[in-house]
């Protein structure tokens, strides 16, 4: 048995957002594009990777030190990473995310003291709704059309009142996530 856990810090989405995304994903019936199971959709604040068990308790303490009140974000817009001509990830955006940005800044600072590497890229709050596994020209154009046709997607407002440390187990059927620790925002 490994003494490491594949872990990440995230914010889960409520069932209403999962349902809206499931409906949106209907338009992603494109060869080479694999939708994410809506029940697994979350905002990744920090991917920790293979984390030694002995560090998990310290990570929980970092989570517990987050001092941000509960807040709302708007779930709207659709885009891709890295760019429309070469999509790898299809996402739904989050607006009014200054509190998420603040939490990520705290996590980066405090977790770097525990030996976790700082992110090189600026945090971009989003929900990954699909991964592009392989796409020829035609599929890329279909993804670009999907993004343009859904640019006004609006799933509404979400109350963010928890930040979670999650475990990820990769299986051939897809990842299995479980909660290790939850920090409730007041």
Respond yes or no: is residue 181 known to be catalytic.
no
Q: Which of 35, 42, 51, 87 is catalytic?
A: 42
- Among 35, 56, 94, 126, the active-site one is 126
| Residue 42's pLDDT band (cuts 50, 70, 90) | very high
CA atoms within 13 A on the CB side of 181: 15
- For the segment 16-36, the average pLDDT, to the nearest whole number, is 96
End-to-end CA distance of the chain: 37
What the block records as the tokens of 115 is 């030996």
Going by C-beta distance under 8 Å and a sequence separation of 6 or more, which residues neighbour residue 165? 7, 8, 9, 56, 59, 60, 63, 179, 180, 181, 182
Looking at every residue in the chain, the average pLDDT score rounds to: 95
Query: What are the structure tokens assigned to 42, written together?
Result: 């979350």
pLDDT at 151: 94
Residue 135: its pLDDT value, please? 75
For 29, other C-beta atoms within 10 Å of its C-beta total 10
> Where exactly are the structural domains of the chain?
4-184
Q: What is the pLDDT of residue 173?
A: 87
CATH code for 4-184? 3.90.1140.10
Helix (H) or strand (E) holding 18: helix 15-25
Interval 107-165: pLDDT, tens: 999 999 999 999 988 999 999 999 998 878 899 999 999 999 999 999 999 999 999 99
pLDDT at 1 over 80: no
User: Has 74 been annotated as catalytic?
Assistant: no
Residue burial 141-177, b: 16+ Cβ < 10 Å; e: rest: ebbeebbeebeebebeebebeebbbbbbeeeeeeeeb
pLDDT at 89 over 70: yes
């Amino acid at each position: 048995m490994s003494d490491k856990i594949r872990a990440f810090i995230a914010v889960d989405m409520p069932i209403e957002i999962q349902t809206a995304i499931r409906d949106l994903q209907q338009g992603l019936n494109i060869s080479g594009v694999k939708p994410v199971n809506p029940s697994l959709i979350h905002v990744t604040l920090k991917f920790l990777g293979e984390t030694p068990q002995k560090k998990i308790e310290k990570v929980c303490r970092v989570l517990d030190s987050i001092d941000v009140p509960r807040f709302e974000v708007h779930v709207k817009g659709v885009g891709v990473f890295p760019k429309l001509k070469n999509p790898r990830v299809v996402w739904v955006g989050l607006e009014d995310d200054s509190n998420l940005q603040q939490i990520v800044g705290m996590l980066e600072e405090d977790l770097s003291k525990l030996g976790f590497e700082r992110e090189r890229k600026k945090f971009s709050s989003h929900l990954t709704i699909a991964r592009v596994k392989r796409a020829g020209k035609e599929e890329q154009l279909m993804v670009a059309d999907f993004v343009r046709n859904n640019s006004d997607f609006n799933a509404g407002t979400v109350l963010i009142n928890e930040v979670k440390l999650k475990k990820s187990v990769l299986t051939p059927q897809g990842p299995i996530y479980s909660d290790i620790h939850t920090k409730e925002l007041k």
